[in-house]
Amino acid sequence: MHLALSYIPILTWAKDYNRHILASDLIAAVIVTIMLIPQSLAYALLAGLPPEVGLYATILPLIVYAVFGSSRTLSVGPVAIASLMTAASLSDIAQQGSHDYLAAAITLAMLSGIFLLMLGVLKLGLLTNFLSHPVVSGFITASAILIAFSQFKYILGVNAEGGDAITLITSLLSSLQQINIPTIIIGLGVLLFLFSVKNSGTSFLMMFGLSKRTSQLTTKAAPVIGVLATILIVSYMSLHEQGVAIVGQIPSGLPRLAIPQFSIALIEQLAMPAIFISIIGYVESISVGKTLAAKRREKTDANQELIGLGAANIASAISGGFPVTGGFSRSVVNFDAGAVTQAASIYTAIGIAIASMLLTPVLFYLPKATLAATIIIAVVSLIDFSIVKKTWSYSKSDCFAVIITIVVTLLFGVEAGVICGVLVSIFLHLYRTTTPHIAEVGLIEGTQFFKNVRRFHVITDPHILSLRIDESLFFGNASYMEDKIYHYLFNDDQIGHVIIICSAVNEIDFSALETLKNINERLIEQGVILHLSEVKGPVLDALTNVDFIESLSGNVYVSQFEAFNDNTNSKIEYK
Amino acid sequence: MHLALSYIPILTWAKDYNRHILASDLIAAVIVTIMLIPQSLAYALLAGLPPEVGLYATILPLIVYAVFGSSRTLSVGPVAIASLMTAASLSDIAQQGSHDYLAAAITLAMLSGIFLLMLGVLKLGLLTNFLSHPVVSGFITASAILIAFSQFKYILGVNAEGGDAITLITSLLSSLQQINIPTIIIGLGVLLFLFSVKNSGTSFLMMFGLSKRTSQLTTKAAPVIGVLATILIVSYMSLHEQGVAIVGQIPSGLPRLAIPQFSIALIEQLAMPAIFISIIGYVESISVGKTLAAKRREKTDANQELIGLGAANIASAISGGFPVTGGFSRSVVNFDAGAVTQAASIYTAIGIAIASMLLTPVLFYLPKATLAATIIIAVVSLIDFSIVKKTWSYSKSDCFAVIITIVVTLLFGVEAGVICGVLVSIFLHLYRTTTPHIAEVGLIEGTQFFKNVRRFHVITDPHILSLRIDESLFFGNASYMEDKIYHYLFNDDQIGHVIIICSAVNEIDFSALETLKNINERLIEQGVILHLSEVKGPVLDALTNVDFIESLSGNVYVSQFEAFNDNTNSKIEYK
């Protein structure tokens, strides 16, 4: 039972479910459903898929996440960035609209699901931390810009393609003469409407006496109003005959569940993209989940979250959908609308299922420009260059990582951007750890404290070199330490004792041990004695086990003061 | 002049050159030249290249390294592992013996050279540390086994190919009926001779009254004796007409210098292999260089070494050679034979140049089996499984890395092996740093020291959670810390104060700063106050600059004792 509880979080809240929670969850579900219908259609469009696939990717994943996910209020489904990444991954593999394209999208969801599930079951959730915050922020900003550009073609009613900013813009510019006037009127109209609602909708509604929360939640229905209004306009005026691109026939009914067929070649091509989409999706999702959980002092669990998202993606694949993750805006709306448990998501899934059974005929005349406008308004709020300024004032290397990520994403597309972001993050981190702070120290007169000789006026002995290493020793920095010690010896013939102060050394790995052995032997050849001081218990135990302490030419001292005093010719005594 | 000195180490010793050094260097050069002639031919064979290419790759690189390299006694040229890696990289690109194959080898040398030079000039030498010692040891052992297997075909006189152990062995076994008897007699004969000399040659010679050093150095001529003897046997008995594979026509003369022609497609295919060969070669080389330099209290410089090796590889490419690096055995012989400066290498280059002008006709009848035997004896000494045992007793995760590297190299070849080795090293390191030690601490009665509540009997206050973080905070572990803190709060309603003890935090990066801000805000929402204690100067400065300290709900304390005492209801006072 304990195991079941730990892997199936639904069991922890289902038993306490009551009428009050039901009411709260139902209200939230209605609001989220209204918000999700246009959103699901829009993100399917962004991913290059038929609109119904957006609905399919919303239903089963919501239910499966409700069972396995650790967050109480996270809402899972298609999101903007994962949809863009899906389109980018599939662009080289098949033609948009083809059967192969859809099959590849399903494979991508399945691979993402399996990968996330594996990370979760193996408890490797921490690995996803290797995308630093600044890199993720930069990536999201750049991706949002790419998404907005990619949707302008629908607003203008032209054909334009491209996975990077320059191709997109030149493609848009070169097709400007094809602009379709009715399309642009609808597109800009919806854009203006959504923009106004977003900026002043809440205060407008509050003027009519609605509470702030009700007003805020009501504004979330704006896309649905846009959708309905433009459907009416297009169908009434038959604008689709004047070149306005519409969604057209959407098969009605529920997705058919099927275990996807896989080709090995496709898996090879999509494995890396699936990993990137998964990680980016997870990072987005967990940050939302954590924020919401912490607000109610609830718990999220990184590995359980991976399992929940993994299962949701597999569910998406089985129901013919594409990669999904926890979305920011949808989760916040769910939370603000009062959802208490994941039951709200199950009701939302039922709502979307009903919509896909009944409403699809209504959506026939829905202009693609309306969906594009919805997407643009949604992603514009993700664009945030302030991260550049913030990192600049705190850490130049973080700022560098942000700028690289933004530039590479804009110029070379999302895949290059995310690869580059991960590599730059890890690279900068590794580079920092390879050059630990190593200070030559001396005794502060009248105390037993040893401080950096460069910053303090200290007592030293020309025959003794005392070095404090401010980091655990491992393969990445062991040879830096070695070089540093040889460098001191090379420049100073008087040194007869080297004392390494290990107070900040939490671990010594095998490579560093080998390096210490080398140093010890080289120093013996040069007639220099090597001592260690202030070695932590576990480290000392490990060194003793492999007989390093025995082979050490000098001693191990509990305190640096003792180490210094034992080897200097001019003993220091305090009374 | 200082800049010139720092980039052209030859200037530091050339001015003090005198007759005594000249004599020492000349003697070393003669011995090394005799050793290198068969070795150069053999490693060209191993790399799948014509024998003269081995000589070409020895001449100019030696001279160029002498000018730019930082080690006084390192000897640069073709080595076993880089040659095997060259063969593995080129196997998919062109047929051995074809013009394209040679062109690709030259491109590989050029790319390696440029890569190493770039690392050196950008002072990124420390990056090469991300191959841990155990991984390198495992890789060398597995590669040596592959090399030995790959040479058996020449000893047996059969055709067999393969980049991994299983393919090689099955290929050898299935071609056993083609065995050529004269070849196997020559091959095993040379093998036995070299093996005996290696094991008891020194003591045998010492019986004749030679000094130990002279005996040791004399044994290094064994391959040349094997070469001469088998040339005589083959030519006298016309064994090449009985199926003994011989080296055949070698163009005599010096390499023609030419800037290689590059195709973009080839560069794309070879870029990654070039990086791997460079890094493995560099790691091998620098460890030899450091060992030799430290014996004489000389200095090596990682970045200058990269420049030296990079220039040597470019020189190899320009003279029609393949990737080179500093070799272990050749450098040790050079050192033991008394080389004092890199002038010895210049004389060696002259020796090899003379050999390639005059001796190539002599080598016509040289059996390939002799060269194969030379290679096998050379690499067998590299096979060392003791690393598995050593790492097992010290660190299981290092042991795991070794075993993975050995297994992958044997089963999937050198490229997969080295990629896997690097990834496993970095992965294990990152994984360790993502889960820093975080201890809940309490006050040891009667002192001002705070220790782990699990290990010591300490005073705590149920309203105060004191956590000591034993690592710098960065994007990789920031969310681990966050989860840990929320976990405590989730399990304990009484906590009103959280104190993070930062005595071991040397740095807080931007991601960790964001996480701290989040924690601070979440705790405020829950009515919990966040304090920091024992923050290091530079870290505190950085936090203050971005106004984090101002937004912190609690205080920053110089000592944890003060932090605890200031917030507890039952004050502790010492007189």
Number of Cβ within a 10 Å radius of residue B123: 11
**Residue B505 touches partner A, C-beta closer than 8 Å:** no
User: In the structure encoding, which two tokens stand for residue B526, read together?
Assistant: 């829950």
* Angle made by CA atoms B558, B561, B564, in degrees to the nearest 5: 105
A344 close to A72: Cβ distance less than 8 angstroms = no
A394:B299 CB<8 A: no
Which residues in chain B have their CB less than 8 angstroms from residue A545's CB? 393-394
**Residue B213 touches partner A, C-beta closer than 8 Å:** no
Give the one of A133, A513, A545 whose C-beta lies nearest to B514's C-beta.
Answer: A133
How many residues are given for chain A?
A: 575
- B370-427: per-residue pLDDT in tens? 988 988 888 888 888 988 988 888 888 889 889 999 999 999 888 888 888 888 888 8
CA gap B169, B177 in Å, rounded: 14
pLDDT of residue A3: 57
More confident of the two residues B161 and B402: B402
Among A58, A92, A91, A54, CA closest to A75: A58
The answer, yes or no, to whether residue A458 has pLDDT greater than 70, is yes
**Picking from A287-291, A349-353, B126-130, which range would have the lowest pLDDT averaged per residue?**
B126-130
CA gap A490, A526 in Å, rounded: 11
Which residues in chain B have their CB less than 8 angstroms from residue A129's CB? 434, 475-480
A294 close to B525: Cβ distance less than 8 angstroms = yes
Task: Please state the separation of Cα B558 from the chain's center in Å.
Answer: 44
Which residues in chain B have their CB less than 8 angstroms from residue A482's CB? 290
pLDDT of residue B252: 82
Give B459's strand partners: B443
Residue of B nearest to A431 (CA): B127
**Picking from A2-11, A71-80, A283-292, A454-463, which range would have the lowest pLDDT averaged per residue?**
A2-11
- B431-489: per-residue pLDDT in tens? 777 888 888 999 888 777 788 888 788 889 999 999 988 888 888 888 889 888 988 98
Among A562, A501, A508, A568, CA closest to A535: A501
B490:A297 CB<8 A: yes
CA gap A106, B276 in Å, rounded: 36
- B213-245: per-residue pLDDT in tens? 888 888 888 888 888 999 999 888 888 888 888
Q: In the predicted model, what is the mean pLDDT of residues A77-84?
A: 90
CA gap A558, B82 in Å, rounded: 46
CA gap B134, B136 in Å, rounded: 5
A132:B509 CB<8 A: yes
Pair type for strands A529-533 and A497-501: parallel
Does an H or E element contain B288, and which? helix B264-295
The answer, yes or no, to whether residue A349 has pLDDT greater than 80, is yes
Give the one of B429, B431, B510 whose C-beta lies nearest to A133's C-beta.
Answer: B510
Which residues in chain B have their CB less than 8 angstroms from residue A434's CB? 126-127, 129-130
- A25-39: per-residue pLDDT in tens? 998 898 888 888 888
Which ranges in B494-536 belong to alpha helices (H)?
A: 510-525
User: Which of residues 70 through 109 in chain A touch B, CB cutoff 8 A?
Assistant: none
3-state secondary structure of B414: helix
Q: Give which of A129, A140, A493, A547 to mutate to test B binding, by max B Cβ within 10 Å.
A: A129
The answer, yes or no, to whether residue A303 has pLDDT greater than 90, is no
Which residues in chain A have their CB less than 8 angstroms from residue B489's CB? 297
B510:A394 CB<8 A: yes
- The pair phi, psi for residue A9, each rounded to 5°, is -60, -25
Among B496, B480, B559, CA closest to B530: B496
Residue B204 CB burial class (10 angstroms; 0-12, 13-18, ≥19): middle
A70 close to A22: Cβ distance less than 8 angstroms = no
Q: Give which of A131, A133, A295 to mutate to test B binding, by max B Cβ within 10 Å.
A: A133
The answer, yes or no, to whether residue B12 has pLDDT greater than 80, is no
A294:B129 CB<8 A: no
Mean pLDDT over all residues of chain A? 87
Give A451's strand partners: A442
CA gap B126, B136 in Å, rounded: 16
Residue of A nearest to B541 (CA): A394
**Residue A132 touches partner B, C-beta closer than 8 Å:** yes
The complex scores an ipTM of 0.74
pLDDT of residue A159: 82
A434:B515 CB<8 A: no
Residue of B nearest to A128 (CA): B476
B129:A434 CB<8 A: yes
Residue of B nearest to A126 (CA): B434
Number of Cβ within a 10 Å radius of residue B525: 12
Q: What is the 3-state secondary structure (H, E, C) of B325-351?
A: EECHHHHHHHHHCCCCCCHHHHHHHHH
Q: Which residues of A261-281 are buried (b: 16+ CB within 10 A; e: fewer)?
A: eeeeebeebbeebbbbbbbbb
pLDDT band for position B117 (50/70/90)?
Answer: very high
Which residues in chain B have their CB less than 8 angstroms from residue A423's CB? none
- B77-116: per-residue pLDDT in tens? 999 889 989 988 898 888 888 889 999 999 999 999 999 9
Q: Which residues of B402-434 are buried (b: 16+ CB within 10 A; e: fewer)?
A: bbbbbebbbebbbbbbbebbbbbbbebbbebbb
* Angle made by CA atoms B116, B120, B121, in degrees to the nearest 5: 120
Does an H or E element contain B315, and which? helix B302-318
Number of Cβ within a 10 Å radius of residue A122: 11
pLDDT of residue B503: 78
A215 close to A202: Cβ distance less than 8 angstroms = yes
- B524-545: per-residue pLDDT in tens? 988 999 999 988 778 888 899 8
Residue A525 CB burial class (10 angstroms; 0-12, 13-18, ≥19): exposed
pLDDT band for position B1 (50/70/90)?
Answer: very low
Give the one of A132, A470, A510 whose C-beta lies nearest to B394's C-beta.
Answer: A510
- A225-279: per-residue pLDDT in tens? 888 999 999 888 888 888 888 888 888 888 888 888 778 888 888 988 898 899 8
pLDDT of residue A313: 96
Number of Cβ within a 10 Å radius of residue B319: 24
Amino acid sitting at position A260:
P
Q: Which long-range contacts (CB under 8 A, 24 or more apart) does A298-301 make?
A: A298/A71, A298/A72, A298/B490, A299/A70, A299/B486, A299/B487, A299/B490, A300/A70, A300/A71, A301/A70
Task: Please state the separation of Cα B532 from the chain's center in Å.
Answer: 42
User: Which of residues 366 through 425 in chain A touch B, CB cutoff 8 A?
Assistant: 390-391, 393-395, 398, 425
Q: In the predicted model, what is the mean pLDDT of residues A148-167?
A: 84
User: What domains can you pick out in chain B, each with its CATH number?
Assistant: 2-247+255-426 (no CATH), 438-567 (3.30.750.24)
- The pair phi, psi for residue A292, each rounded to 5°, is -65, -40
Q: Give which of B510, B516, B544, B547 to mutate to test A binding, by max A Cβ within 10 Å.
A: B510
Minimum distance, in Å, between the CA of residue A256 and any CA atom of chain B = 39
* Angle made by CA atoms A327, A333, A335, in degrees to the nearest 5: 95
Total beta-carbon pairs less than 8 A apart between chain A and chain B? 175
User: Which of residues 285 through 324 in chain B touch A, CB cutoff 8 A?
Assistant: 286, 290-291, 293-295, 297-299, 302
Which residues in chain A have their CB less than 8 angstroms from residue B494's CB? none
pLDDT of residue A4: 60
Residue A402 exposure: Cα atoms within 13 Å on the Cβ side: 24
Which residues in chain A have their CB less than 8 angstroms from residue B433's CB? 433
Give the one of B132, B476, B506 whose C-beta lies nearest to A429's C-beta.
Answer: B476
**Residue B451 touches partner A, C-beta closer than 8 Å:** no
CA gap B113, B107 in Å, rounded: 10
Alpha-carbon separation of residue B290 from A431, B297, B301 (angstroms):
22, 10, 9
Give the one of B394, B470, B510 whose C-beta lies nearest to A398's C-beta.
Answer: B510
B510:A429 CB<8 A: no
pLDDT of residue B189: 92
CA gap A434, A429 in Å, rounded: 9
Among A247, A370, A333, A274, CA closest to A31: A333
Share of residues in chain A with pLDDT > 70 (%):
98
Give the one of A127, A297, A474 whose C-beta lies nearest to B526's C-beta.
Answer: A297
Which residues in chain B have their CB less than 8 angstroms from residue A483's CB? 302
A280 close to A139: Cβ distance less than 8 angstroms = yes
Give the one of B398, B435, B522 whose C-beta lies nearest to A126's C-beta.
Answer: B435
Number of Cβ within a 10 Å radius of residue A51: 23
Share of residues in chain B with pLDDT > 70 (%):
98
Query: What phi-psi label fits residue A217: left (phi over 0), alpha (psi between -120 and 50 degrees) or beta?
Result: alpha
How many residues are given for chain B?
A: 575
pLDDT band for position A1 (50/70/90)?
Answer: very low
pLDDT band for position B124 (50/70/90)?
Answer: confident
- Helix crossing, A19-46 with A51-68: angle to 10°? 140
Minimum distance, in Å, between the CA of residue A260 and any CA atom of chain B = 31
Separation of first and last alpha carbons in chain A: 64
Residue of A nearest to B511 (CA): A133
- The pair phi, psi for residue B183, each rounded to 5°, is -60, -45
A525:B294 CB<8 A: yes
pLDDT of residue A295: 74
> Which DSSP category does A65 fall into?
H
pLDDT of residue B423: 82
Mean pLDDT over all residues of chain B? 87
**Residue A555 touches partner B, C-beta closer than 8 Å:** no
Which residues in chain B have their CB less than 8 angstroms from residue A472's CB? 471
B297:A504 CB<8 A: no
Rg (C-alpha) for chain B, rounded Å, is: 30
A436 close to A469: Cβ distance less than 8 angstroms = yes
CA gap B350, B370 in Å, rounded: 25
The DSSP code sequence of B114-183 is HHHHHHHHTT-GGGGGGS-HHHHHHHHHHHHHHHHHHHHHHHHT-----SSHHHHHHHHHHTGGG--HHH
